[in-house]
Chains A and B, each alone.
Chain A
Amino acid sequence: MSLAKDALPVARLDKIPLALIPVIAAAALPLIPSLPTWVTLTVAGLAMGMMIFIMASGLTLVFGLMDVMNFAHGAFITIGAFVATSVLLPLAGWTQADSLWRNLAALLLAILASMAVTGALGVAFERVIIKPVYGQHLKQILITMGGLIVAEQLIIAIWGPDMIALPKPATLRGSFIYGDIAIEKYRVLAVLVGLAVFAAMFLVLNRTRVGLLIRAGVEDSEMVESLGYRIRRVFIGVFAAGSALAGLGGVMWALYQETVTSAMGMQVMILIFIVIIIGGLGSVGGCFIGSLLVGLVANYVGFLAPKVALGSNILLMVLILLWRPQGLYPVAKR
């Protein structure tokens, strides 16, 4: 009945894209004058990559599952950042205290608040703005652009037009020093948070029934419905989760930059688009690798030739598209 082979084909994880990360890190090594600098840049690159992953993962999953590209995603990032300011600045007693636990508690509060707000806004956004234009890509782009414009204006109306300074909590400032090598403490936190998010997403997607539904829905949502599942309800949940993740990313990014402006979401959207195109629209794993690649390239090139930093990431995107036109891990769509 089947082929004569008795041995089962081994489902091998396509490892080549994974290898790109150490390859690029290694390639940068000879170009950078000193090892300590290389270490600092690599950590910075990984940290930045993790934060971008947090912000981008929701967007790519929403697109894979719902066929919706939310051009207003940047607004959720910005809102997350501003909510963080509203929580952390009044809590200066905790953030400026020299206690790691107090600092982390304040940070956790900010994160929960941001995720709650952006998640709820995500639900409202999906029901009001996006649902009427399912399947109509042109209108979707226009409408989400409109949402972006309105959101940005509302942010300024609520929090004012000026940039807000958001200093890092006291114990998260500074670096760990190992001989000549300095590793920023906050960056370590960012990497940990990013890994936690990735682990959580991995577990949900691969070990839960909802995750099964989502993975199947990304391939063929019509078939999932034919199996008797109301996948539209899952849509809302995924969109809310994606928006909440954007909020979380906004908090982390705001503390990284230590300033919050109404345009910060938009500014990082270019990198996010590059990341999800590189990773393959709809693939969380691809998004993870793409984020790390972009983070590393941005930091290495930012050090070596600052003027071409963004250009180098666009070049990276072009090169990867020439190699794999659908991104690193294309999703097998119907």
Chain B
Amino acid sequence: MTVIRTLLSGDYPRSRALTAVLLVILVGLAFAPFVFPGTRSLDVAAKVCVFILLVASYDLLLGYTGIVSFAHTMFFGIGAYGIAIAASSLGPTWGSLALGSLAALACSALLALLIGVLSLRVKTIFFAMITLAVAAFFAILASQLSGFTGGEDGLTYTLPQVLLPGSKLLAAPLFGVDIDGRIVSYYLVFFAAAALFLVLLRVVNSPFGRVLQAIRENDFRAEAIGYRSVVYRSVANCVAALAASAAGILYALWLRYAGPATTLSFDIMVDILLMVVIGGMGTMYGAVVGATLFVIAQTYLQDLMKLASHAAAGIPLLPALVHPDRWLLWLGILFILSVYRFPAGIVGKLRSRDKRHHFVTR
């Protein structure tokens, strides 16, 4: 039990239903190549891993520190482009990837510190607007410096041999699945994302994390006690940015492609917001639930909605509303309801339901 306690930094799910859901997700992701064969499903699984990390990093910012930033995709993009540019210009070696990663992480940390020091003194709304402008600027920069970043089309590149789909590691298939570079890539993404998620969990459950929450609750009072909130917020901003960049690095390793549409677009920022709020702000596990739900819905819900759309064919406007491309509409409504009624999202709902059944931990 103590192994689990250390691993989760004492932050248990605190709900039978939630524990079950998390275990299902964990097992599903851990054994994805074997349980869900096919390229599409593995793609979805890898995307889930990346987004769990990305959304968790955003939860640190929004849920725990109370900062709304629209520049998060910028850090995601920096990580991805770090790998992309290194692999394209320096060749597909582990050395170049390491260099690219380190450069990306350093760049993100610096930018995050800059943003923190310059803007965290201002009010919430002002800060949100400024990060929006900065993110837009960065996205345009990325598409304009096409010599460097591949412009609108992005960069495609190759990676060390062992990560490529072509290379076979084992002569014979294991449990019916060919163990090739793709599987290796997947497990790299999975283990890295899982490890970094646990690191974030540790950060929010540390004394530092508690100060963040105190600052989120009552900035004035925290300052009165002696905690310089600007410093804490800047550090939180840095940690979140680094985690987001790491997610970008993993994504770039998986896709072997980096471009403005996959990493820097405002749509992704909106998606992150949806995931973190619907999953549950300030819970970390909300990121797991939210990201899984969202990515799976994004891929598979559309098929479901297509059926509904055909069924509603006769009625005016209704087919347009349940048209598969309109899945974001329903998610948006769910999002609004979550902000009003369920601030702790799905995780909060599951936990409160179990509280009534007197679920006791530790």
Classify A-B as touching or not with yes or no (CB < 8 A). Answer: yes
One digit per residue, 1 when the CB lies within 8 angstroms of any chain A CB and 0 when it does not, for chain B 6-49 equals 00000000000000000000000000000000000000000000
Is B320 a contact of A158 with CB atoms below 8 Å? yes
Is B336 a contact of A146 with CB atoms below 8 Å? yes
Contact segment of A147-155, A182-190, A235-243? A147-155
**Known: A149-B335, A150-B329, A311-B137. Contact between A142 and B132, CB under 8 A?**
no
For A142, give its contact among B129, B133, B331, B339 (CB under 8 Å). Answer: B339
Main secondary structure of the interface of A (DSSP, over half): helix
Is B335 a contact of A317 with CB atoms below 8 Å? no
In chain B, residues 261-287, which have Cβ atoms closer than 8 Å to a Cβ of chain A?
Answer: 266, 270, 273-274, 277
Residue B66 is within 8 A (CB to CB) of chain A in the complex: yes
Is B339 a contact of A154 with CB atoms below 8 Å? no
Is A310 a contact of B124 with CB atoms below 8 Å? no
A: interface residue count bin: 35 or more
Is B125 a contact of A137 with CB atoms below 8 Å? yes
Is A157 a contact of B137 with CB atoms below 8 Å? no
Residues of chain B within 8 A (CB-CB) of A307 are: 144
B: interface residue count bin: 35 or more
Question: Complex: how many Å from CA A223 to CA B123?
Answer: 23
Residues of chain B within 8 A (CB-CB) of A133 are: 339-340
The A/B interface has a contact count, at CB < 8 Å, of 89
Residue A273 is within 8 A (CB to CB) of chain B in the complex: yes
In chain A, residues 137-186, which have Cβ atoms closer than 8 Å to a Cβ of chain B?
Answer: 137-143, 145-147, 149-150, 153-154, 156-158, 161
Is A154 a contact of B141 with CB atoms below 8 Å? no
For B133, give its contact among A137, A153, A270, A281 (CB under 8 Å). Answer: A270
Please report B residues at the A interface, Cβ cutoff 8 Å: 66, 68, 123-126, 128-130, 132-134, 136-137, 140-141, 144, 266, 270, 273-274, 277, 317, 320-321, 323, 325-326, 328-329, 331-333, 335-336, 339-340
Please list 28 pairs of residues, one from A and one from B, whose beta carbons are closer than 8 Å in the complex, sorted by A's number.
Answer: A69-B128, A133-B339, A137-B123, A138-B68, A141-B68, A141-B125, A142-B335, A143-B340, A145-B270, A145-B273, A146-B332, A146-B339, A149-B270, A149-B274, A149-B331, A150-B329, A156-B325, A157-B317, A157-B323, A158-B317, A274-B133, A277-B126, A307-B144, A310-B137, A311-B141, A314-B133, A314-B137, A317-B133
Please report A residues at the B interface, Cβ cutoff 8 Å: 63, 69, 71, 129, 132-133, 137-143, 145-147, 149-150, 153-154, 156-158, 161, 266, 269-270, 273-274, 277, 281, 307-308, 310-311, 314, 317
